[in-house]
Amino acid sequence: MLFNSISFLIFFPIVVVLYFLIPHKYRWIFLLAASYYFYMSWKPEYIILIIVSTLIDYFASLHMEKQKEKKKKKKFLILSLISNLGLLFTFKYYNFFSNSLNVLLNKFNIFYDSPTFKLLLPVGISFYTFQTLSYSIDVYRGTKKAEKHLGYFALYVSFFPQLVAGPIERSTRLLPQFFEKHKFNSQRVSDGLKLMAWGFFKKVVIADRVAALVNQVYNNSEAYGGIPLLLATYFFAVQIYCDFSGYSDIAIGAAQVMGFSLMDNFRRPYYSKNISEFWSRWHISLSTWFKDYLYIPLGGNRVSKPRWYANLFIVFLVSGLWHGANWTFVIWGALHGFYLIFALWTKNIREKIYNLFSIPKESLLKKYINVFVTFHLVLFAWVFFRANTVNDAFNIVSKMLNVDPITFIKHATTLNFNVNLGLSKYEIFIAICSIIIMEIIHLYQRHNRMREFLSSKPRLIRWSIYYLIIIFILIFGEFNLTQFIYFQF
Amino acid sequence: MKTFFKNSVFFLLGLLIISFIIQSIVFALIKNLEVGELGVINKIMNGQINTEILICGASRAFVGINPKIIEEYSGMSCYNIALNGSRLGLQVPLLKAYLKHNKKPKILIQELGMYSLSVDKKVFAPYKFLPYLQESEIYEGLLKIDHRIWLNKFIPLMNLTYFNTNFQSILIKDYKRQLNKLGDYLIDGFHKNKNQWSIDEKGFFKNPHGIYNKIEHKGIQLLDEIIQICKENNIKLVLVNTPEYYKILNLYKHRDEIIKVFENKAKENDLKYLDYTEHEMTKNRNNFYNFTHLNARGANKFTNILCKNFINNKN
């Protein structure tokens, strides 16, 4: 069930009303049933994977806690790791590795066809396996007590607002919330609904509109010149942000309506001044996951410099692979790893350059330059993320690098590209207006809270703004039920 | 909680009123159009067509049969009400609405093709029909395709999503034309598509699985319904399969079975079934802009051939 579907618009209010009507001690049963129904409306049989993962982690953690010897604890941790990563490998990576092996062997004139399976990737598998993995590791480390109540644990794994695309919640944060009795709070419900509306705006008005242009150009990249490809890449940066942060807002808002608090996943990442900051503001729940469960166990930065750089690089390679079983994602991850290492390596040199031109440390100019450069480094890496193949990505990059910026700006300001971009001039205009509206709100939110701004206004003005937003979403939104990009990860 | 629910009800009521106002404005704008596809639907509903020959069908008729040529050849008035993106599920209700508001034609040219016997999976471009959901023929026809259409009839909020930017672009373009008195870009409902062939053939044939078009019982029922309507109204029905670029024919998996159905229906009901899918003009790519659609040049050529095959020359 997609958030941007009529089914969800019927499902969600029913769940909320029943949730508050049901006595607290039975709510977990209802929420669990609703979450399983939510997942099963996509492909019913794949619920078995969630149940298997839940049961293994539940029992493994209980046994882990009972063991006094670390060695024995480790056995259960390994069981949890193998089962979760095994699921992930089978459904997501097996065919990729098998095909890559075939290609590699063929290069050495060894013709071996390792078998591939026709398996549909279970929606959200990367999210819920990572969520349960973090739980098992926390129990192993002793930072979390094993959950005794199977029902609450199953709900932690499958809680529907964040089941298919995060935020990847830690058990220490989310699990205790299921035990709390959430009373109906009109302010919280209203805030949650506003956040959901904001998420819908980003998803259906912006992401799904620009997606038409991005798909048209990137899926036929050989037919397009540098200018349309550059435009499509800028639009993809907007698309992926609005798609994923829109999903996160709907998820966080939906949970908030029912009284749950999910972690923030995005904090205006394109305003980051360096790549390290970008990763502390983009897909925060995944970045912190990798930091806690991969980077630090590898030694983090408390090792020799080469090892530190290697650790960073490994984390980003794995992060790339987490996003998809394709070399394009691996290269995307590697690029980010390289950016980070390069930034660390050249930190002193860059400072010297700024000093040479007498640019103060905290100057606005330096900040703008950094934001501009960081955004364009991220943009460059998005080419590999979005391109269908590595070859396509390199062709796109080579065409884009030949674009004269002045010519591009001329085309962009007149919206005249002289080719079929999959969107009419009018639709591009609407997309750009919507992006401007979003950025104005982003800028406003840097120093103010939208919630307080709205609350301070009389009801007539407040409601008029809400009506305007809803009508804007309905009239300028794309309702072709486009799946969220991160569902495929 | 009570106050919250009270406020929510008032908020929703306000939203419904606003959406009703927006819907009324948009419907008025649509109904006032005299050009383009929306203009054709308006003319049908206002009883402004009333021709002796009527052309029905989907996009292949919309771009493939020029009524002006038929008029010139036969001396009979002719109009094309073919619906882009439709199958018989949409075409039948439109024909019924046509007959309700207009004089019955003497001849009905019904375009048929490989998609005709599989029913519409959704209402294509629903905004065309939304202002006319009060027409029972349209409403019941649409309801058979999408049972949720009743929501659109009674909850204006539902319709706002159909007034999307694609629709807005069409509305703006058509109004610009109408207000500047540039005339209709459709010729009596026919779309003269001047595009040249633009399909990458190699890419198209990379698809090794072919094109599956199911023969659905409902599709056959709809064809029977057209035949019945024509019998009841004493309309001469001619079934026409318009040309397609010859290379696509082998891709159709059930082509022979589908054509057999058309031929049998024609035989059983003593109708003419004219199949041009293997005509020599299908060998020339210059007559098409894609595999299944004729361009302006091809349409003119084809309409002339069609005329000679079943219409008496006025001379």
- Condensed to tens digits (0 to 9), the pLDDT of residues A120-155 reads 777 788 888 999 999 999 999 888 888 999 999 999
Number of domains in chain A: 2
**Which residues have C-beta within 8 Å of that of residue A218, sequence separation ≥ 6?**
A232, A236, A386, A387, A388, A392, A396
CATH of the domain at B282: 3.40.50.1110
DSSP state of A191: H
- A430, A467, A471 ranked by CB distance to B165: nearest: A430
Q: How far apart are CA B1 and CA A188, in angstroms?
A: 12
Of A174, A201, A220, which residue constitutes the final position of a domain?
A: A174
Q: Are residues A380 and A321 in the same domain?
A: yes
Residue A428 lies in a domain: yes
* Residue B123 DSSP symbol: -
Range of the domain at A109: 6-174
In this complex, do A474 and B15 lie within 8 Å of one another by their Cβ atoms?
no
CA distance B33 to chain A (A): 20
A406 is a domain residue = yes
- The answer to whether the Cβ–Cβ distance between A186 and B4 falls below 8 Å is yes
Average pLDDT, rounded, for chain A: 87
Per-residue DSSP letter, A291: I
Range of the domain at B80: 34-146+184-310
Q: Give the total residue count for chain A.
A: 489
pLDDT tens digits, residue range A192-219? Answer: 998 999 999 999 899 999 998 999 899 8
State the catalytic residue, choosing from A323, A336, A376, A447: A323
How many domains does one find in chain B? 1
B266 falls within a domain: yes
Question: What sign for the dihedral angle of Cα A419, A424, A429, A435?
Answer: negative
Q: Which residues contact A69 (CB under 8 A, 6 or more apart)?
A: none
User: Nearest-CA neighbor of B26 among B189, B167, B138?
Assistant: B167
Amino acid at A268: R
Asked whether residue B11 is assigned to any structural domain, the reply reads no
Task: Report residue B107: phi and psi, to 5°.
Answer: -125, 135
Do both A63 and A209 map to the same domain? Answer: no
Residue A420, Cα to own-chain centre: how many angstroms?
30
What H or E segment, with its residue span, contains residue B236?
strand B236-241
- Which pLDDT tens digits describe chain A residue by residue (489 residues)? 777 777 888 899 999 999 999 998 899 999 999 999 999 988 888 899 899 999 999 999 999 888 888 888 888 999 999 998 898 888 887 777 777 777 777 777 777 777 767 777 777 888 889 999 999 999 998 888 889 999 999 999 999 998 877 789 998 889 999 999 888 888 899 889 989 999 999 998 999 999 989 998 998 888 888 888 999 999 999 999 999 999 999 999 999 999 999 999 999 999 999 999 999 999 999 999 999 999 999 988 888 888 999 999 999 999 998 888 889 999 999 999 999 999 988 888 888 888 888 877 778 888 888 899 999 999 999 999 999 999 999 999 998 888 888 888 887 777 777 777 888 888 888 899 999 999 998 888 877 777 778 778 888 888 898 899 898 888 888 876 555 555 555
Whether A182 is catalytic is no
Instruction: Report the distance separating Cα B102 and Cα B42, nearest Å.
Output: 12
Q: Which residue of B has its CA nearest to A431?
A: B165
Q: Name every residue in A having a CB less than 8 A away from some CB of B.
A: 6, 184, 186, 189-190, 209, 424, 426-427, 430, 463, 466-467, 470-471, 474-479
Which residues in chain A have their CB less than 8 angstroms from residue B160's CB?
471, 474-475
Say whether A426 and B3 touch across the interface (CB within 8 A). no
pTM for the model stands at 0.81
Interface of B with A (CB under 8 A): 1, 3-4, 11, 14-15, 18-19, 22, 148, 157, 160-161, 163-166, 168-169, 172
Of A424, A470, A477, the CB nearest to B169: A424
**Separation of first and last alpha carbons in chain A:** 16
CA–CA separation, A211 and A223 (whole Å):
18
Q: Are A274 and A157 in the same domain?
A: no
Domain contains B23 = no
A182 domain-assigned: no
Q: Are A193 and A313 found together in one domain? A: yes
Per the domain annotation, does A207 fall within a domain? yes
Contact B160 A184 (CB under 8 A): no
How far does the CA of residue B164 sit from the closest CA of chain A (Å)?
Answer: 5
Would A292 be classed as within a structural domain?
A: yes
Report the C-alpha gap between B83 and B71 in whole angstroms: 20
A-B CB pairs within 8 A amount to 48
Chain A: give the shortest CA distance to residue B121, in Å: 14
Same domain, A224 and A369: yes
- A133 and A217 belong to one structural domain: no
Is B9 a member of any domain? no
Q: A218 and A168, same structural domain?
A: no
Is A180 domain-assigned? no
Contacts of B171 in chain A (CB under 8 A): none
Are β-strands B186-187 and B190-191 bridged in parallel, bridged antiparallel, or unpaired? antiparallel
Provide the ipTM: 0.74
CB under 8 Å to B12, separation ≥6 — which residues?
none
Q: Do residues A318 and A351 share a domain?
A: yes
Asked, for residue B248, whether it belongs to a domain, the answer is yes
Say yes or no: A155 and A291 in one domain: no
